[in-house]
Amino acid sequence: MKITARTPDQIGNALRRVRKAKGMTQKDVSARTNLRVATISSLENGDPGTQMRTVLSVLAALDLEFVVQDRVQESQLSIEDIFS
């Protein structure tokens, strides 16, 4: 599992996809993070105002991590276009 993200939408979609792939509900993530279900929802829906602590907390709950790397030249297709 390795998804490039440049926008809040892409990050949100990636997190939702991974969560579902792991068979977890927002409630499950909420329990692991002590964040409200509404907060998880907001993040997954691409709220750009979501704080770093919140994103990192959810990442940890999903056993994910961030990698910061140089931008790679890629097609105009976003991850959302590729995966339904």
Partner DNA sequence: ATAAAATTTGCGCTATGGCGTAAAATGAGA
Partner DNA sequence: TCTCATTTTACGCCATAGCGCAAATTTTAT
Report, in Å, the least distance between residue 10 CB and DNA.
Answer: 15
Supply φ then ψ for residue 13, to 5 degrees.
-65, -40
In angstroms, give the least distance from the CB of 53 to DNA: 7
CA 51 and chain centroid, separation: 13
Cα gap 73→84, rounded to integer Å: 22
Task: State which residue, 52 or 77, has the beta carbon closest to a copy of itself.
Answer: 52
> DSSP label at 76?
S
DSSP 8-state symbol, 84? -
Please give the residue ranges that form the binding site for a copy of itself (CB under 8 A).
1-8, 11, 14-15, 18, 47-53, 55-56, 59-60, 63-72
Q: Which is nearer to DNA, 1 or 21 (CB)?
A: 21
Q: Which is nearer to DNA, 4 or 36 (CB)?
A: 36
